[in-house]
Amino acid sequence: MVQIPKAAAPSSTTPPLPHSVPTSADVARLAGVSRATVSYVLNNTSAVRISEPTRRRVRAAAEELGYVPHAAARSLRAGHSRIVLMPTPAVPMGPLYHGFIDELQWALGRLDYTVVQHGSVGLRGEEAARAWAELRPVAVLVPGTGIGPEGVAVLRRSGARAVVTIGPEAVEGAHAVLLDHHSVGHRAGAHLYARGRRRIGVVVPEERGLGVFSRPRLEGVRRALSGTDGTVTELPLGYDEESAARLAARWRALGLDAVFAYNDEYAMLLMRALQDVGLRVPEETAVVGADDLMLGRLLRPRLSTVHIELPAGRDLAELVDRAVRDPGGAPERRTVRGATVVHRESS
């Protein structure tokens, strides 16, 4: 991290206009040293010996002028930045994911990276990669796999030393943290089968962008039930009360005795709709969610769920750092497999 001198308190209530932005040349002039010296001192470079009085003079000048180093200029000089870019996911993510991001940002900050999140509003694949490349990040952490191998190549060509995808599949040329959504579905299916359920519905959200998670979860349930006397029925569901009421209205006709509801939020929505048409949970239909949110414990019956381990923020930060230091290394693959059923009252 660059040592940033404390800025002086503003002496007037009106901040100076942009044309007065102090530069390192101003600091050099005031301190009576070269610009290079200013750069060495403010970047805490230990490779160059500079006397303590000179360092103090530079810091005092920077403070007096309110000078802040310029990340862009520094990255141009260094040939790369310390920016780790994290595009924000295109789909709404739950509290579990936000906690993970917070921990990751903290861990990367400790390794002297600056984490920048970037909205990918409306951009996909290569197009998104080019927008991100303009910031010249030293590493990019991409949620999902929509960037594709072409997008990875765009980022690598623009100087990103590491691209890491976080999702159910690996992308050529990128490191991958593989979230095993298949096993989430498999655990839920095996649990329901072991509890004596045979006709199992699986909620597949209709919301765009969730297929990358819901398809492997569905496939996992199918795999858990394959070769048994159980059946799996796909249940498209939009995240609103009307869709849930429509599904609940035809529930008895479907003849299901259990449902894996994609996650806890869809499970809450569907369980409420089932209860509203008089279905008893879990007697007539067992319900299992995923994510282990607190809301599941507040529901009645208490919601059974699949607890999903996310990669530890510190581990992922270290993977990024290793990859940045060895940009030519072979892509790492790391699979996070910690899915466990939390059995409560709804199943």
Question: CA torsion sign, 137 to 140 to 146 to 149?
Answer: positive
Nearer to a copy of itself, 115 or 339 (CB): 115
Among 34, 36, 44, 102, binds a copy of itself (CB under 8 A): 102
Task: Give min distance, CB of 193 to a copy of itself, in A.
Answer: 28
Tell me the Ramachandran region of residue 76: left when phi exceeds 0, alpha when psi lies from -120 to 50, beta otherwise: alpha
112 touches a copy of itself by CB under 8 A: no
- The helix-helix angle for 35-42 and 52-65 (nearest 10°) equals 90
Interacting positions 46-85 with a copy of itself (CB under 8 A): 66, 68-76, 79-81
Task: Give min distance, CB of 314 to a copy of itself, in A.
Answer: 13
Nearest to 261 by CA among 227, 288, 234: 288
Nearer to a copy of itself, 92 or 236 (CB): 92
Interacting positions 296-325 with a copy of itself (CB under 8 A): 297-298
**Separation CA 313–CA 94 (nearest Å):** 17
Interacting positions 216-255 with a copy of itself (CB under 8 A): 239-241
Task: Give min distance, CB of 244 to a copy of itself, in A.
Answer: 9
Tell me, by CB under 8 A, how many residues bind a copy of itself.
78
**Separation CA 132–CA 158 (nearest Å):** 10
Among 92, 209, 255, 338, binds a copy of itself (CB under 8 A): 92
Eight-state DSSP code of residue 7: P
Distance of CA 269 to CAs 132, 142, 199, 244, 294, Å? 36, 30, 20, 7, 15
DSSP helix/strand/coil, 99: helix
278 touches a copy of itself by CB under 8 A: no
18 touches a copy of itself by CB under 8 A: yes
291 touches a copy of itself by CB under 8 A: no
User: One-letter amino acid identity for 22?
Assistant: P
Given the rule CB under 8 A, which of 150-158, 205-213, 215-223, 332-340 is the region that contacts a copy of itself? 150-158
User: One-letter amino acid identity for 78?
Assistant: A
Question: CA torsion sign, 256 to 341 to 222 to 211?
Answer: positive
Interacting positions 174-203 with a copy of itself (CB under 8 A): none
Task: Give min distance, CB of 292 to a copy of itself, in A.
Answer: 13
Given the rule CB under 8 A, which of 111-119, 177-185, 192-200, 207-215 is the region that contacts a copy of itself? 111-119
What number of H helices and E strands is found in the chain? 14, 12
Nearer to a copy of itself, 56 or 297 (CB): 297
Nearer to a copy of itself, 88 or 231 (CB): 88
35 touches a copy of itself by CB under 8 A: no
Task: Give min distance, CB of 16 to a copy of itself, in A.
Answer: 6
Task: Give min distance, CB of 110 to a copy of itself, in A.
Answer: 9
**Separation CA 278–CA 149 (nearest Å):** 50
Task: Give min distance, CB of 187 to a copy of itself, in A.
Answer: 24
Nearest 5 degrees, angle CA 219-CA 221-CA 223?
A: 70
